[in-house]
Structure 1
Amino acid sequence: MGRGRSAGRWALRGVGVFVTLVCLVGAGRFLWPQPGITEQPGSTERQLTFVRAALDSGADTAAQQQFPEGHFFLNALYGISWVQAAHTEPALRDTALRESRWALDRLESEQGRAAFSPALRPAYGIFWAGWTNWLRGAILSLDASDRAEVQRFSAHSAEIAQAFAASETPFLQAYRGQAWPVDSTVAMASLRLHDHLLDDRYAAVTARWLDAARARLDPATGLLPHEVSPDGTQLDGARATSQSVIHRFLPEIDAAFAREQYAVYRDRYLAYPGGFGPALREYPHGVDGVGDVDSGPLVAGISLSATVVGLGAARVNGDSGLAAAIGAEGELLGLPVDLPGSKRYAFGLAPIGDAFVVWSSTARLLTTEPAVGDWETRWWRAPWLAVLGLLALAPWVGRLVTLRDPRHRRPLSG
């Protein structure tokens, strides 16, 4: 009987030691300095190694079963992340070119185009056309020696510009009868990238798009709406899932408009639920809604996907405080598994999430440099550290109380 009790006590102590160590490791990862907005995590290559292995194992096909752009996004973000990483770390250039070109081939494959209609203008819709054109231009920003690729970039940019010029609305269709302003924002950024890399051909198209977009802001928030009808009529007001992507690309198009919009986005969506955060609500303050395939499940109104992509938006808008905070929270809450040859989050169960993380954590502007912002981020670490401290001490409270009880103190020997 005594041995059983003794074994039980040791088992409880072992659990207590484990809990305390986990909390200490978590606190260490949480407090570890995050890269500045012109830097990137030291684990970037390992993250990309995991995403490539997942792609080789069919993760993009699996992601396609979860939402309509799963295959496309996983490949696109992988390729774009490599380009971003190489701009920050030039030693990665050769690997980045090989891997991003491989990803572009997959976007333009039959499987990569399968979900989209060739009858739309531009062909396959503005979502497919815009992201594909952005990736091709991004690759050319590393190496423009392939004249055939330069010609393709010019031709696809011209097709996108013609579609905008012929449209009564600045928000083109991604699928037949469906349009999301975020997709047109990405496509317009690709035209600005064309002008930055080659010749200044689409300034007038860009100016017209900006005027039309300003005239169609969501009246409730002053931001670009989430979804519109084919004629541009708003169907769904601004939501953080699309806003986070919009603010990743808007500074590529127009710095002044981007700064105005980012300030509103931060004011309407940044939240500290229960004192914890920062994180991004899917719906603006004062509005409640349900999650969907884009936002994922909402916890206290917070969208995990919008928050992850918000890291990239913060980086390119010069919001170093918010970028560091979201990055630190990811290291604490994202269940990272950091191995010598790879790094994954959530134990690698959702590679599409890892692709969004590495795309956001390497985000940088390709057409200009980020303006240094004066955004403020509250003392956000204190609540997290308080909880970690309480959890670390919890297994030992009983022991500490016992030691302080005079009845359990051993008398001093003579």
Structure 2
Amino acid sequence: MGRGLFSAIRFAVVAVLAAGAVSGLIRLYAPALGTGSAAERQLTFLRAELDHGAGETAQGLFPEGYFFLHALYGIAWVDVGRHRTDRAPALREARWALSRLDGPQGTAPFSAELSPAHGAFYAGWTNWLRGGILSLQPASDREPADVERFERGSREIAAAFDASDTPFLQAYPGQSWPVDSTVAIASLRLHDAVRPALYGQTVARWVDRARGRLDPATGLLPHVTDPATGEPLQGARASSQSVIQRFLADIDPGFAREQYLRFRELFVVRPLGLGPAVREYPQGTDGGGDVDSGPLPLGVSLSATVVTIGAAVVQGDRSLAAALSSYGELAGVPIDTTRTKRYALGLLPIGDAFLVWARTAEPWVAPPPSPPPPVIGPVWRIPLTLVLALLVIPLAVVVRRHRKAERANPRPGGP
């Protein structure tokens, strides 16, 4: 009896492992980008989590957790809505997310004394979402209050940049990250795409000044800058670069392509010769992880790897975007149902939010760019395929031997 029970347990464990390996192979080759039903199922999961306090939980993990979870949810719905005939659900959900950002919990971490109000981070992301909502509607259908609020937000952002001695505004008192100003400037470009153009000079001046304050070690926009001068205090890091590259494409396509190719050269790697991933620090340098990057196994930032999917898409780099996405589909172990889709058992909804935002990416202002030279070819899957196959084959042998033994020694009273 004891041996029989042990054999049955062993068989069950082996069968589950074999099924997992086969499932992994399927996910490795399945397409995972786009704004189709998989994205909507993931957004359905996120809305349920938000309704049950996921934003408040995320706020306990890092200072912008509540804000980011709602902002990414709303922006991803805008991306999905751009490809729907019926845009009403996308508008409803994006507006709901924006209302949460405008509420007291959305503004709580930020200082109203900064210029623009609540700082570059808050102003830039909310203005981008406002413009995205307007972009889903014909001009005749837009609510006057929505238009006025977008105009006011854009004026405040432009005035802050025009009055500043540095291209990188403060997100918190005495603290400046170029990534936040990049999002804010992108929202001005979006304004000039959906409303009468007003801010071309502000944007052009920002690009020129930003070019003059690049990280000397990498030639990329820095991670942290002096709030008074804009001079780099910390060199380029992928947790901010992956976001910068996503928005820079809509600001200045030429500058964006230069920056993206340099970023890809310095940060995209293949740890252990397996799937592509993104380092937090440039190749040849190392540093510690923090709340932005998360843990850094083999120097890789999982958050930056996810966000780089979107940066690659808006640069027309579909081969890299698809490779990063497929690798994530394998490693993320998704649970997919007819209504919802979640990753990592749904334990960290903020991760799902970044992933769906990355996978639904597309330029909102600039025309789709030509693809850059590929950095990764179709053969990247071969090592992972061999690893999974090496798992499947011995597991299949064990299953076969178990069944053969059962046939040779049927249980008493069995058929």
Question: What TM-score results when the alignment is normalised by the length of structure 1?
Answer: 0.93
Q: Secondary structure of 2:284's partner?
A: coil
1:86/1:96 contact within 8 Å kept: yes
Match of residue 201, structure 1, among 191, 195, 198: 198
Shift of 1:19: 1.2
Which residue is equivalent to 1:8?
A: 6
Which residue is equivalent to 2:386?
A: 386
**Residue deviations 1:275-294 (CA, integer Å, cap 9, x gap):** 01211000000001111000
Shift of 1:335: 1.6
Match of residue 313, structure 1, among 305, 311, 321: 311
Matched, 1:171 2:168: yes
Which residue is equivalent to 1:130?
A: 124
Matches within 5 A, 1:20-169: 20-35=18-33, 39-91=34-86, 93-143=87-137, 144=139, 145-169=142-166
**Residue deviations 1:257-305 (CA, integer Å, cap 9, x gap):** 0001000000000000110121100000000111100000001000000
Matched, 1:180 2:174: no
Which residue is equivalent to 2:408?
A: none
Task: Indicate how the Cα distance of structure 1 residues 81 and 318 shifts in structure 2: closer, same or farther if over 3 A, else same.
Answer: same
Match of residue 221, structure 1, among 205, 218, 223: 218
1:34/1:41 contact within 8 Å kept: no
Unaligned runs of 5+ in 1: 403-414
Q: Secondary structure of 1:174's partner?
A: strand
Q: Secondary structure of 2:172's partner?
A: coil
1:41/1:361 contact within 8 Å kept: no
2: distance between equivalents of 1:196 and 1:122? 21
Matches within 5 A, 1:288-327: 288-327=286-325
Matches within 5 A, 1:354-393: 354-376=352-374, 377-378=376-377, 379-393=379-393
Shift of 1:373: 0.9
Matches within 5 A, 1:227-246: 227-231=224-228, 232-246=230-244
2: distance between equivalents of 1:136 and 1:319? 27
2:316/2:369 contact within 8 Å kept: yes
User: Runs of 4 or more off by more than 4 Å in structure 1?
Assistant: 396-402
2:310/2:361 contact within 8 Å kept: yes
**Residue deviations 1:111-162 (CA, integer Å, cap 9, x gap):** 1101000100000000000000000000000124211211111111011001
2: distance between equivalents of 1:135 and 1:255? 21
Unaligned runs of 5+ in 2: 403-415
2: distance between equivalents of 1:368 and 1:30? 31
Which residue is equivalent to 2:269?
A: 271
2: distance between equivalents of 1:375 and 1:176? 41
2:11/2:399 contact within 8 Å kept: no
| Aligned-residue identity in percent | 55
Shift of 1:14: 2.7
| Counterpart residue identity of residue 47, structure 2 | R
Shift of 1:12: 2.2
Which residue is equivalent to 1:255?
A: 253
Q: Secondary structure of 2:233's partner?
A: strand
Shift of 1:374: 3.0
1:213/1:224 contact within 8 Å kept: yes
2: distance between equivalents of 1:215 and 1:234? 11
